[in-house]
Amino acid sequence: PRPDVHPLPPGTHLLYAQSGRIEHVPLEGYEMKKDAGKALLHLPEKVIIGVAYDCVEKMVYWTEITSPSISKASIDGGEPTTVIRSDLDSPEGIAIDHLGRTMFWTDSVKDHIEVASLDGSQRRVIIDSDLVNPRAIVTDPPNGNLYWADWNREAPKIETSHMDGSNRRTQAHINWSARILATADRRKVIEGLQYPFGVTSFGKNIYYTDWRRDAVVAVDRHAGKESDMYQPQKRTKIYGIAIAYAQCPAGQNYCAVN
């Protein structure tokens, strides 16, 4: 069978979902090498929402809402494999704990957050109350924490918990009209955002996808301003975004040693 994935060259890449494709843009330092942007894989019959990267096995994971599922593929080439296909309604954000070898995702119809091993086994709902429109989710593997966003129009918020769902706390209540980008400790990075969908960070930069400009926007978190923007030729909404690290960030956590 022909490989569906166009292998990525070595180095660090931005991965983002757009219109049934996962595309990549190489990063040279923190610069997006826009001319080298290409499709990693093309699944035109799918609507891919969330993207995550496992730096250990060099796999990209994604959520898909047309026939709701979670799949993975090696960035070195090969065919996609579906790891979860049952009991999903609208899986959106996905995040990986590369140390604990687990994945977390939000479902905006079931209104809950689940965890499973990277092969799809040992599924468990960890948060199932007070969620209206859960979407983005990120892991903090060295500290064993989760963060997620709920864009509930009435009361948008960012919450955090341990990776088993315990110690749940509200990190921030969001004002819809504020349009700011801030860090978890509530430090404002920039204001005047247009329509952010997905966000990821790498070193000094934060990269987010923008539904108004159909673009990937780079923000220098120290300078507090947009430093670059990449608009793919195809002008449609860009969904999830993730960094494919050349090497795993250092660190270990409780789950990794148990």
> Which residues in 185-204 contact other proteins (CB under 8 A)?
none
Tokens 């793919």 correspond to 232
CB 51 within 8 A of CB 62: yes
For residue 222, the minimal CB distance to other proteins (Å) is: 30
For other proteins, the closer of residues 123 and 235 by Cβ is: 235
CB 146 within 8 A of CB 95: yes
- List CB contacts of 72: < 8 A, sequence separation 6 or more: 54, 59, 60, 61, 62, 80, 81, 83, 118
Q: Determine if 35 is a binding residue for other proteins (CB under 8 A).
A: no
What mask of x and - would describe binding to other proteins in positions 225 to 254, judged by CB under 8 A?
Answer: --------xxxxx-x---------------
Q: Determine if 62 is a binding residue for other proteins (CB under 8 A).
A: no
Q: Candidates 38-46, 97-105, 142-150, 216-224 — which segment interacts with other proteins by CB under 8 A?
A: 38-46
CB 88 within 8 A of CB 49: no
Q: Determine if 66 is a binding residue for other proteins (CB under 8 A).
A: yes
Q: Determine if 174 is a binding residue for other proteins (CB under 8 A).
A: no
Side chain identity at residue 202, one-letter code: F
Structural tokens at position 113:
């957050």
- What is d(CA 114, CA 29) in angstroms, rounded to the nearest whole number? 34
Q: Determine if 178 is a binding residue for other proteins (CB under 8 A).
A: no
Q: Which of 147, 151, 202, 245 binds other proteins (CB under 8 A)?
A: 151
